[in-house]
């Protein structure tokens, strides 16, 4: 009987690529795992571990929540500062809304004087500023409130009486020197004018512990003192209704030189 001839199968010279690819895959997985382990974030490590299990055919395990050990009440993978930041943002929003409502009330209360340019109401990150021209409040060189100013300030006190914000009353003058039996300089004049406004507020029911009187003299002009119009603008009393949530100050390290 004739012997059957079998063709020899050709050698596959590319079989080494299968082993090489497996080796490279395992090496990549090893370095990824090492990098994940070196990271503090346990959540990322757990996600990576489950992904590798799924890739190599293992059944994925249900992920357990990773809680912050210092505060187990925090939700998974959430930074500890997230909740306080949201709370502060909400508090700041409420504070701005409250100050805006107060500013609108003051603007409405003093509308005729605002239209005449004798009162200016503005709102900033510090709070509300009510700038009142001194000619509305006092006679030149005096610190006694006149009848017209009493009505305006009583209306302001009515708005602020039931509020809780601190009120800083600032007296300002122009740079023309003053020297008489009552006021040796503009410092005393500005301070006594601020004190007169504070005293009226207290008489109208505003709590004393919310009030402070400051005299700046001519040191903080808002216009040039070279003109009569500028000096008129600089002679003023400013009511600062301060925000109860001031901006957070940034700490700067002191470096020795």
pLDDT in tens, 223-234: 999 999 999 999
In a domain, 8, yes or no: no
Note whether 43 and 105 are same-domain residues: no
In a domain, 43, yes or no: yes
pTM: 0.64
pLDDT surpasses 70 at 58: no
- Same domain? For 51 and 168 the reply is no
* Residue 32: domain span: 18-55
| 143 pLDDT above the threshold of 90 | yes
Both 48 and 166 in one domain: the answer is: no
CATH for 200 = 3.30.1330.60
pLDDT tens by residue, 25-39: 877 777 777 776 665
69 lies in some domain: no
Task: Please write down the long-range contacts of 100-107, taking CB distance under 8 Å and 24 or more positions apart.
Answer: 102/128, 102/159, 102/160, 102/163, 102/165, 102/241, 103/128, 105/159, 106/130, 106/156, 106/159
| Number of domains within the chain | 2
For residues 139 and 26, state if they share a domain.
Answer: no
The whole-number pLDDT of residue 65 equals 46
Confirm whether 131 is domain-assigned: yes
Residue 116: what pLDDT? 92
């Amino acid at each position: 009987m004739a012997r059957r001839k079998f063709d020899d199968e050709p050698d596959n010279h590319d079989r080494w690529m299968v082993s090489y690819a497996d080796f490279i895959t395992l090496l990549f997985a090893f370095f990824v795992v090492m990098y994940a382990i070196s990271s503090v974030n346990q959540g990322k490590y757990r996600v990576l571990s489950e992904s590798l299990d799924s890739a190599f055919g293992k059944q994925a395990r249900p992920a357990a929540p990773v809680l912050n050990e210092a505060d187990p009440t925090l939700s998974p993978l959430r930074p500890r500062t997230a909740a306080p930041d949201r709370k502060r943002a909400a508090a700041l929003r409420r504070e701005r809304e409250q100050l805006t409502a107060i500013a609108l009330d003051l603007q409405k209360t003093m509308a005729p004087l605002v239209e005449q340019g004798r009162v200016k109401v503005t709102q900033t990150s510090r709070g509300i500023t009510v700038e009142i021209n001194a000619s509305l409040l006092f006679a030149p060189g005096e610190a006694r409130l006149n009848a017209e100013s009493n009505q305006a300030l009583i209306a302001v006190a009515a708005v602020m009486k039931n509020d809780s914000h601190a009120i800083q009353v600032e007296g300002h003058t122009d740079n023309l020197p003053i020297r008489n039996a009552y006021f040796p300089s503009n410092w005393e004049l500005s301070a006594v004018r601020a004190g007169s406004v504070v005293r009226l507020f207290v008489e109208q029911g505003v709590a004393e512990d919310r009030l402070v009187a400051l005299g700046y003299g001519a040191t903080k002009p808002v216009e040039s003192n070279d003109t009569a119009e500028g000096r008129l603008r600089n002679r003023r009393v400013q009511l600062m209704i301060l925000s109860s949530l001031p901006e957070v100050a940034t700490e700067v390290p002191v470096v020795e030189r």
